Structure 1
């Protein structure tokens, strides 16, 4: 009797996810989900180190344990929605780059409380959902020049890498030259350099969990050398969400200011195009695209991503988005949403491991190599920019360079949006400028003249 029930359940699951019809197996889907988790689980250490009150934000940050728990819960929820609803082998978690924007541009740079920043994230997720389920998404995708999309991705990569170099002590402040090399005789800086080298080696030789393994190796060496504390335990019950849950809803009325309009639009822009690119990239590797190159169930996939962002903000973390590390699971044979369900299961287990991850997150030099490597991977978009045509390369370069140099993703994005119409007019290609670009140019000009101090 029990075996019949299990057989029927297995058949229904197979039919819903299309495991057999996709040429996969339950075992392969579970293994692929495990590999995806290993490839992206570094977020459980890095996100709290960026957003938490024990990191660079200090008392302006979100309580550390609350960030960890929120990160894990958001990953579980978002990944399950993507796996069960959209049925794609793609995992979600708070995005690198967007968490840096949340922390360093919004909270630290603009002086906006993290509670209000969460409200901005929530609003961006709601708008994203509306765009995802309507045909407006196609018009928006076509309005923004492809070259600027590449530039935004690369610029965020440069910004994230710069944060990592700063946290590692490899790059430090200089009154004479703004920045300079740090002290390589410092134990913590040497530890970060060790972490960077081993992470790069793991990445180059093709290990799917390269970033995680690099963090583990750095943590172990740090503990042996006395630079990293030994955790008091291995597991404990998740807690801390009472400090963050619902804050995004409570402070939603505070979002409707000039500064927050720019914040929300930047979050929306980056998440929308990053998610679209990741979804198409992962689906292409899994041979899931239609013959014309379009994404099947695109509305469901993008809507699932937006639901992850909305739920993550309510739970208490920055924008939750699709992870390109999902390609690790796809390369291992994952083809259906069951892969994502498996990944979500591992994040649910990891939720109980705060004592371990808190030690890692509390030492910036341990997580810094992860930021640098993630920045390198994002900066590969530089190769897709058409550098031979100045009408593309100038706004792209301005976007990329202004993000790290002004310590603000929003500033770089705004500068690129302003320069693009200018150079296109000068080139005599005014008819190619979409009306949306003129509107964005006007908005960002207002941002610089009236909102930036």
Structure 2
């Protein structure tokens, strides 16, 4: 029977109603783009700093700039496509010092041999990440210590931010000295920090990026102009890079020296990454992406040696992008694209002063403090190791050394209290590896 005035049929499973374009999707994309941009400006300093440290190992600084940019970009793309997490991959501070000042200057390697150590360490790290051992390493770490790592990293960010912003400086008499509040740089840092907090608390879209832009304007109004970056003058760096790419070498490297170097570097990379990646994924609400994120991180270490730089890690500055709303791999990929753009836009990027970026790091450190609520200090065998991690990560300026002392003390205190069964067998092995690491450093 046919009806002349058929009403518009109601949507069914077979004929779903057309969906209007969702504003929320556009909002998510915009937030990820902003987060990736914020992450980039928080980490862009690594291009100059890392290339300068590589230069101390003998790698031409222009070549080090290209190597740093390429390793960071590739790592961010891998993290975005495979890890699908808003983490930022770049050469790590601390591990680059180990590359230059321990392997090259301390153990007498050439930079080519040190790059070979990086490749082997990356292979070992990647092999571990492909097995269930990487998940077992995370679950073997007591919850109190995992929370302590987050807090310790947050305090390290605060320390880095205060130093980058010129608020504190090293001092022979008091270790750290607070700079004069009459200094324009200090005033800009503190004013930008206040602006950052206010914009974030009021939930202004793009708050952290706006804070960086506002801080940059303030810096120029106060006459705080960044110094011209060294290593960028005088033509293209690509010619110098041709002498670094793929130049790793095992020739003349004693096997015992090689084994000690690979063991130490792999240990640092694995446990620094386990603690940092786990903390950042929890911050982003995506802990299920741990294994893939570790695989992306470890494979980029292998590529770092080929590309001509010290090992890459998931950087602490990724917390800036996560706080800006980054939740997917798109954040990381945006940062990767900006790294590539930086090769031609470096003069513009260096116009952003440290005083505009440092407050972001200080603020993010503050956002990581709530983790301390989950640490029980009633049982000292639990609370003291957590405290050691929180205190020693920033005070020793080393994530891995702070973690190591906390882990070793956790085992020691539980044995002293007759609670050896409360510690997982794998955690005993981890602690012994850290003891071996400190022993090798003393040799």
Q: Fold-level match, TM-score > 0.5?
A: yes
The equivalent of 1:13 in structure 2 is: none
Unaligned regions of 5+ residues in structure 1, if any?
A: 1-19, 285-293
* TM-score normalised by structure 1 residue count: 0.72
The equivalent of 1:45 in structure 2 is: 44
Deviation, structure 1 residue 120: 5.6
Q: For the structure 1 residues 85 and 73, does the alpha-carbon distance in structure 2 shift closer, same or farther, using more than 3 Å as the test? A: same
Matches within 5 A, 1:83-98: 83-85=80-82, 88=84, 90-94=86-90
Deviation, structure 1 residue 136: 1.7
Is 1:295 matched up with 2:295?
A: no
| Cα separation, 2, equivalents of 1:118 and 1:224 | 44
Describe the superposition over 1:40-80 as per-residue Cα deviations: whole angstroms up to 9, x where unpaired. 12145232354242x9x995697665555445433432333
Q: For the structure 1 residues 109 and 158, does the alpha-carbon distance in structure 2 shift closer, same or farther, using more than 3 Å as the test? A: farther
| Cα separation, 2, equivalents of 1:79 and 1:220 | 29
Question: What SS class does the counterpart of residue 451 from structure 1 fall into?
Answer: helix
Question: What SS class does the counterpart of residue 181 from structure 2 fall into?
Answer: coil
Describe the superposition over 1:112-159 as per-residue Cα deviations: whole angstroms up to 9, x where unpaired. 589477666544433332122212223222222222222233223323
* TM-score normalised by structure 2 residue count: 0.73
| Cα separation, 2, equivalents of 1:268 and 1:201 | 37
Describe the superposition over 1:88-107 as per-residue Cα deviations: whole angstroms up to 9, x where unpaired. 35353327xxx332256665
Contact 2:149 2:279 in 1 (8 A): no
Q: For the structure 1 residues 271 and 171, does the alpha-carbon distance in structure 2 shift closer, same or farther, using more than 3 Å as the test? A: same
Matches within 5 A, 1:337-352: 344-352=336-344
Deviation, structure 1 residue 353: 1.3
The equivalent of 2:10 in structure 1 is: none
Q: For the structure 1 residues 208 and 247, does the alpha-carbon distance in structure 2 shift closer, same or farther, using more than 3 Å as the test? A: farther
Deviation, structure 1 residue 390: 1.3
Contact 1:78 1:91 in 2 (8 A): no
Matches within 5 A, 1:310-389: 310-315=302-307, 316=309, 318-321=311-314, 323-324=318-319, 327=322, 344-360=336-352, 364-389=354-379
Is 1:153 matched up with 2:150?
A: yes
Question: What SS class does the counterpart of residue 169 from structure 2 fall into?
Answer: strand
Aligned pair partner of 1:423 in 396, 413, 424:
413
| Cα separation, 1, equivalents of 2:153 and 2:49 | 15
Deviation, structure 1 residue 435: 3.1
Contact 2:167 2:178 in 1 (8 A): yes
The equivalent of 1:412 in structure 2 is: 402
| Cα separation, 1, equivalents of 2:216 and 2:60 | 22
| Cα separation, 1, equivalents of 2:151 and 2:334 | 31
Q: For the structure 1 residues 177 and 33, does the alpha-carbon distance in structure 2 shift closer, same or farther, using more than 3 Å as the test? A: closer
Question: What SS class does the counterpart of residue 270 from structure 2 fall into?
Answer: helix
Contact 2:63 2:244 in 1 (8 A): yes
Deviation, structure 1 residue 328: 6.2
The equivalent of 2:273 in structure 1 is: 271
The equivalent of 2:16 in structure 1 is: none
Q: For the structure 1 residues 92 and 160, does the alpha-carbon distance in structure 2 shift closer, same or farther, using more than 3 Å as the test? A: closer
Q: For the structure 1 residues 193 and 58, does the alpha-carbon distance in structure 2 shift closer, same or farther, using more than 3 Å as the test? A: farther
Q: For the structure 1 residues 62 and 146, does the alpha-carbon distance in structure 2 shift closer, same or farther, using more than 3 Å as the test? A: farther
The equivalent of 1:307 in structure 2 is: 299
Unaligned regions of 5+ residues in structure 2, if any?
A: 1-18
Matches within 5 A, 1:18-29: none
Contact 1:282 1:326 in 2 (8 A): no
Deviation, structure 1 residue 225: 3.6
Q: For the structure 1 residues 342 and 183, does the alpha-carbon distance in structure 2 shift closer, same or farther, using more than 3 Å as the test? A: closer
| Cα separation, 1, equivalents of 2:185 and 2:331 | 38
Aligned pair partner of 1:390 in 380, 384, 394:
380
Q: For the structure 1 residues 159 and 437, does the alpha-carbon distance in structure 2 shift closer, same or farther, using more than 3 Å as the test? A: same
Q: For the structure 1 residues 272 and 283, does the alpha-carbon distance in structure 2 shift closer, same or farther, using more than 3 Å as the test? A: same
Question: What SS class does the counterpart of residue 388 from structure 1 fall into?
Answer: coil
The equivalent of 1:6 in structure 2 is: none
Contact 2:188 2:222 in 1 (8 A): no
Aligned pair partner of 1:127 in 124, 127, 136:
124
Contact 1:47 1:67 in 2 (8 A): no
| Residue range with higher mean Cα deviation, 69-78 or 156-165 | 69-78
Contact 1:60 1:107 in 2 (8 A): yes
Describe the superposition over 1:149-194 as per-residue Cα deviations: whole angstroms up to 9, x where unpaired. 2223322332332233234332234444333322223333333333
| Cα separation, 2, equivalents of 1:447 and 1:221 | 46
